Amino acid sequence: MSEESAGDGRRIATVAVAGVRNPSETPEPLGDGDRDGPPRPNGWRAECGARTRNGGKCRRPPLAGRTRCRLHGGATPSGIASPHFKNGARSRYLKHLPREMVRGYKAALADPDLTALDAELALLTARIGQLLERLSQAPAPPWGKAVEALNDVLTAEAADKDDKLAELARIVRTGADAARSQEATGDALRELIAERTRTAAAEWKRKHDLNAFLPKAQAVALMFMVRQAVVEEVKDRKTLQRINDRLTVLLGGPLGTPDGPPPALLEDGPGEARADE
């Protein structure tokens, strides 16, 4: 190891590997044609730029494919090699969940049908049916009895008036409670029906979008059937060759089969000879 001037009054180390200067530590200054753009004042085509202890900027060249030099994090693993790489296994919600919810949360993340809404639609439908049954079985407000009790109060003797008033108050309170219960059930039904409508629309759109894209396996099978039809109907080998070349260009390579290696449109059958023989 030897020392050289960095061009700004500092000394930097040069590491030699098998007698050759190590370019990852102190690369040689690049020539005019090595990279595009004018060279930096220090002779490099790029510089690290990290803030140094004296408040300036590091002028060492960054490592290949990085933006910093080795001294300022250029050698730190990045991407999937980084120990801090996040792949979703630890969600931002996981650390805040109660312990009893962790297993179910992880199972939901691993569910391949997590985005499907069929179960939610079934649950909403069942809840709507439950509320409708509750609404049908709930007693109606006894307004007819309230009218009769009011008539009794109006026609009661002075000695019985207090008892009649108490009975009227009881009937009115019972009717008010029943009316509030019916209203609350109706509000819940309206919200559930609206939510079910939105969920059904979202599920329809999801399935529509899924059907709008042809899976790769189906696309390969379709193209294979087209290929078979071409082979059976087109007998001219030059035409077959042109079709084969055209399909290869369009598909970016030979067409494979669902169950085997990619065949060619031109295949010699028993007793057949190639067109160029």
95 CB-near residues (< 8 Å, 6+ apart) = none
Whole-number pLDDT of residue 31: 46
Query: What is the per-residue pLDDT for 106?
Result: 87
| H or E segment and range at residue 22 | none
pLDDT at 12: 47
220 vs 274: CA distance, rounded Å: 27
* Distance of alpha carbon 26 from alpha carbon 1, whole angstroms: 11
The pLDDT value given to residue 40? 56
Q: Kindly state the tokens that stand for 163.
A: 């008892």
SS3 168: helix
pTM of the predicted model, to two decimals? 0.42
Q: Residue 20: its pLDDT value, please?
A: 37
| pLDDT of res. 113 | 84
Tokens of 222: 């379709």
Confidence (pLDDT) at 83:
62
224 token code pair: 């294979």
Return d(Cα 107, Cα 18) in angstroms, integer. Answer: 54
Query: Is the separation of the CB atoms in 231 and 240 below 8 Å?
Result: yes
Per-residue pLDDT of the chain (277 residues; tens, 9 = 90+): 444 444 444 444 444 333 333 344 444 444 444 445 555 555 566 788 888 888 888 888 888 778 888 888 888 876 656 666 555 555 677 778 888 888 888 888 888 888 888 889 999 999 999 999 998 888 888 999 999 999 988 988 888 889 989 999 999 999 999 999 999 999 999 999 999 999 999 999 988 888 777 777 777 788 788 878 888 888 888 888 888 888 778 777 665 544 444 455 545 444 444 444 4
